[in-house]
A and B are shown apart, each in its own frame.
Chain A
Amino acid sequence: MSGEAIAFYVLAAIILASGIVVVSSPNLVHSAVALVPALLGVTGVYILLNAEFLAGIQVLIYAGGITVLILFVIMLTEGGTGLRVRQRNEQAPIAAAVAAAVAALFVALAGRTPWAQGAGTLPSYTPGAIGQSFLGPNLLLFESTSVVLLVTLVGAIMIARKEDDA
Chain B
Amino acid sequence: MGVMPWYLEALRAVVGTIVIFSGVAVVAAMFGVLLERKISGWMQSRIGPTHVGPRGLLQTVADTIKLLQKEYIVPQNADAAIFASAVVIVPLAALLDYVVLPFGATRWGPLIFRDLNIGVLYFAATSSLIVVGILMAGWGSNNKYALLGGLRSAAQMVSYEIPIGLVLITISLLAGSLSTVTIVNMQTHLWFVVSQPISFLIFLTAATAEVNRAPFDLVEAESELVAGYFSEYTGMRFALFQLGEYGEMFAMAALAVTLFLGGWHGPALPSVVWFLIKLYALVFVFMWVRWTYPRFRIDQLLGFSWKVLIPVALLNLVVTAYFVTGAHR
Contacts and interface: CB of A to CB of B under 8 A. Distances in A.
A36 interface: yes
Interface string A122-164: 0011010000000000000000000000000000000000000
Contacts of B128: 59-60, 63-65, 68
Interface residues of B, number: 32
B281 interface: no
A3 B125 CA distance: 25
Interface stretch (A69-77, A84-92, A101-109): A69-77
B24 to A, nearest CB: 20
B172 to A, nearest CB: 9
A163 to B, nearest CB: 16
B132 A68 contact: yes
Interface in A1-46: 2-4, 6-7, 27, 29-30, 33, 36
Given A36-B132, A60-B124, A68-B158, A29 B82 contact: yes
Interface stretch (B65-73, B115-123, B197-205, B253-261): B115-123
Interface residues of A, number: 31
Given A4-B6, A29-B82, A30-B81, A72 B125 contact: no
B126 A59 contact: yes
A3 B5 contact: yes
A156 to B, nearest CB: 13
A52 B139 contact: no
A109 B128 CA distance: 38
Contact of A60 (B125, B135, B136, B155): B125
Contacts of B155: 72
B309 interface: no
Contacts of A55: 118
B125 A75 contact: no
A148 B117 CA distance: 31
Contacts of A76: 151
A81 B139 contact: yes
Nearest to B117: A125
Nearest to B150: A75
Contacts of B6: 2-4, 6-7
B121 A57 contact: yes
Contacts of A36: 129, 132
Contacts of A30: 79, 81-82
Contact of A71 (B9, B124, B139): B139
Contacts of B135: 68, 71-72, 75
Contact of A63 (B9, B116, B132): B132
Given A64-B132, A68-B135, A29 B79 contact: yes
A127 B125 contact: no
A36 B130 CA distance: 12
Contact of B139 (A4, A60, A75): A75
A77 B235 CA distance: 32
B40 to A, nearest CB: 31
Contacts of B154: 68, 71-72
Contacts of A72: 135, 151, 154-155
Contacts of A75: 135, 139, 147, 150-151
Given A63-B128, A75-B135, 20 more contacts: A2-B6, A3-B9, A3-B10, A4-B6, A29-B139, A30-B81, A33-B85, A33-B136, A52-B116, A55-B118, A59-B126, A60-B124, A64-B125, A68-B128, A71-B132, A71-B139, A72-B154, A75-B147, A75-B151, A127-B178
20 contacts: A3-B10, A4-B6, A6-B6, A7-B6, A27-B79, A30-B82, A33-B82, A56-B118, A56-B121, A60-B121, A63-B129, A64-B125, A67-B132, A68-B131, A69-B158, A71-B136, A75-B139, A75-B151, A124-B117, A127-B178
Interface of A: 2-4, 6-7, 27, 29-30, 33, 36, 52-53, 55-57, 59-60, 63-65, 67-69, 71-72, 75-76, 81, 124-125, 127
